[in-house]
C-alpha cells in the first residue's frame, strides 16, 4: 500500500505521484515503442486505429468529462481537421506545419461556434451540436470546389525530413507518428488539468454557481474548453483521414459523433484512461463480433445494425451498473487490493442527488 502524504502544493500537482507510477508509465511507453517488432502489420494497424480514436476521445473528454458539456457534434470537428490538413498539404505545406495548423484552425472554428453555444445549457448544447453534425455533411457537399464533395479526397503521402510515411506501405512508421502525437496530446491534456484553466473547467462542471462565486468566468472558460477540445479532435480527424486513405462527406457522419460520446462514457468520464479504454472497445468491437459470429456459425451473413445494437446494449449496462465506466471499475478493483482487507462496499456509494428544473435557472 502506497501512501501519498502531501505536504505542499507541489506534491498535489506533480505529473506522477510517485516513482512506481512513473515506472509503470515509462514501461508502457517502451513497450508501445517496441510494438512494431512484436506484432504483425494487421494488428499494428488496429493498434494505430485505437490510438487515433483515443486522441479523438481525449478531445471530447476535455469538453464532456472535464467541463461537463455534452457534445453530439464532434464528428464535425474531425471533418474540419481532416479536410484542412489535407488541403494545406495539397497547397504545398509540409506535414509538420500543415498538421498543427489544421489543429489550430479547428480550434478556432470550435471557439467561434462555442460563442453562441456556451449560452446554451446541457440539453440545448447537445441539440445544437447534433444540428452542426448534420449540417457538416451537407456543407462539405456544398463546398465542392474546395472539398471535392461526394467524390471525396485522397490523403497524400506524409514526408517528415525526407522520411516517407504511409499507412499501407510503412505501417510501422505511421504507428510511431501516431504514438508520438498521442503522447504529446496526453501530456498537453494532463498538464492542462494541473493549470488554473483546468481547475476552472472542473469548477464549471461541478457547479456553475459556485464557479462564478469563485471568480471563474463561465462563458470564457466554456469557450476555451470548446476550443481546445476541438483542436485535439481536429488533430485526430487529420490522422483518421490518413488512416482511412480516402474520405468524403459521409466519412464523418453523426454516427461517428455519437460513437465518440458513447466511447468516453464506456471508458469512464473525466479520466485520461477512460479515453483509451473506450477506444479499445470501439476499435475491437467489430472484430470481436465477426469472430463471435463465426463461432456460432452465422459466418457470412451480414446483420445490419448489429454493431450499433450491441454497442448500445453495452452502454446501457455500463450506465446502469458502472456509471464511472471501465476506468471506474478498474479503480475499484485496484483500491480493493491496495486496502486489503479494509476495503468496504460503501466506500464508492454515490451521493444521493435530486433533480431540479433547468427552466428556472
Binding site for other proteins (CB under 8 A): 64, 68, 70, 72, 116, 119-120, 122-124, 126-128, 130-132, 134-135, 138-139, 141-142, 209, 258, 261-262, 265, 303-306, 308-313, 315-316, 319-320, 323, 352-361
CB of 265 closer than 8 Å to CB of 315: yes
For the bound state, the minimum distance from the C-beta of residue 232 to other proteins, rounded and expressed in Å, comes to: 20
* Closest separation in Å from C-beta 124 to other proteins: 6
Q: How many CA within 13 A on the CB side of residue 116?
A: 6
Give whichever of 34 and 303 is closer to other proteins, judged by the CB atom: 303
Nearest to 44 by CA among 207, 175, 231: 175
Q: C-alpha grid cell for residue 203?
A: 469548477
| 246 and 254 Cβ atoms separated by less than 8 Å | no
CB of residue 307 to other proteins, shortest distance in Å: 9
Which of 238, 334, 264, 302 lies closest to 61 in space, CA to CA? 264
> In angstroms, rounded to a whole number, what is the distance separating the alpha carbons of residues 58 and 276?
8
In the complex, the smallest distance separating the C-beta of residue 186 from other proteins, rounded to whole angstroms, is: 24
Answer positive or negative: Cα dihedral of 122, 123, 128, 130: positive
Minimum CB–partner distance for residue 110 and other proteins (Å): 15
Q: Under a CB-based contact definition with an 8 Å cutoff, are residues 272 and 190 in contact?
A: yes
CB of 139 to other proteins, least distance (A): 8
Burial code of 241-277, b = ≥16 C-beta within 10 A, e = fewer?
Answer: bbbbeebbbebbbbebbbbbbbbbbbbbbbbbebbbb
CA dihedral 250, 254, 259, 261 (to 10 degrees): 140
Q: Which CB, 315 or 331, lies closer to other proteins?
A: 315
Residue 162: count of CB within 10 angstroms of its CB: 5
Q: Are 272 and 102 in contact (CB under 8 A)?
A: no
Residue whose CB is less far from other proteins, 13 or 141: 141
CB of 174 to other proteins, least distance (A): 31
Q: How far apart are CA 347 and CA 277, in angstroms?
A: 24
Compute the least distance from the CB of residue 306 to other proteins, in Å. Answer: 7
Nearer CB in complex with other proteins: 300/341: 300
Closer Cβ to other proteins, 165 or 262, answer by number: 262
Judged by DSSP in three states, 260 sits in helix
Cell of 174: 505511421
Amino acid at each position: 500500500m502506497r501512501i501519498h502524504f502531501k505536504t505542499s502544493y507541489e506534491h498535489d500537482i506533480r505529473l506522477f505521484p510517485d516513482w512506481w507510477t512513473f515506472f509503470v508509465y515509462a514501461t508502457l511507453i517502451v513497450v508501445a515503442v517496441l510494438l512494431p517488432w512484436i506484432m504483425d502489420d494487421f494488428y499494428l494497424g488496429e493498434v494505430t486505429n485505437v490510438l487515433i480514436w483515443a486522441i479523438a476521445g481525449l478531445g471530447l473528454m476535455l469538453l464532456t468529462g472535464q467541463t461537463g458539456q455534452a457534445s453530439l457534434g464532434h464528428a464535425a470537428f474531425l471533418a474540419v481537421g481532416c479536410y484542412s490538413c489535407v488541403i494545406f498539404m495539397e497547397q504545398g505545406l509540409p506535414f509538420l506545419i500543415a498538421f498543427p495548423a489544421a489543429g489550430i484552425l479547428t480550434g478556432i472554428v470550435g471557439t467561434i461556434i462555442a460563442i453562441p453555444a456556451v449560452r446554451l445549457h446541457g440539453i440545448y448544447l447537445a441539440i445544437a451540436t447534433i444540428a452542426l453534425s448534420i449540417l457538416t455533411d451537407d456543407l462539405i457537399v456544398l463546398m465542392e470546389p474546395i472539398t471535392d464533395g461526394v467524390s471525396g479526397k485522397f490523403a497524400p503521402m506524409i514526408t517528415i525530413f525526407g522520411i516517407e510515411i504511409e499507412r499501407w506501405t510503412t505501417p510501422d512508421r505511421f504507428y510511431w507518428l501516431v504514438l508520438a502525437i498521442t503522447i504529446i496530446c496526453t501530456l498537453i491534456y494532463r498538464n492542462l488539468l494541473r493549470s488554473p484553466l483546468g481547475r476552472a473547467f472542473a469548477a464549471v462542471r461541478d457547479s456553475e454557481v459556485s464557479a462564478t462565486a469563485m471568480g471563474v468566468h463561465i462563458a470564457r472558460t466554456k469557450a476555451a474548453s470548446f476550443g481546445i477540445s476541438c483542436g485535439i479532435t481536429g488533430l485526430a480527424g487529420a490522422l483518421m483521414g490518413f488512416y482511412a486513405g480516402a474520405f468524403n462527406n459521409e466519412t464523418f457522419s453523426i454516427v461517428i459523433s455519437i460513437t465518440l460520446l458513447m466511447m468516453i462514457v464506456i471508458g469512464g468520464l473525466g479520466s485520461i484512461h477512460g479515453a483509451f479504454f473506450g477506444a479499445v472497445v470501439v476499435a475491437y468491437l467489430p472484430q470481436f463480433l465477426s469472430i463471435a459470429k463465426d463461432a456460432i456459425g452465422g459466418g457470412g451473413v451480414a446483420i445490419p445494425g448489429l454493431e450499433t445494437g450491441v454497442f448500445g446494449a453495452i452502454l446501457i449496462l455500463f450506465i446502469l451498473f458502472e456509471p464511472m465506466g471501465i476506468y471506474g471499475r478498474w479503480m475499484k478493483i485496484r483500491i480493493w487490493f491496495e486496502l486489503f482487507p479494509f476495503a468496504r462496499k460503501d466506500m464508492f456509494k454515490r451521493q444521493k442527488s435530486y433533480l431540479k428544473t433547468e427552466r428556472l435557472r
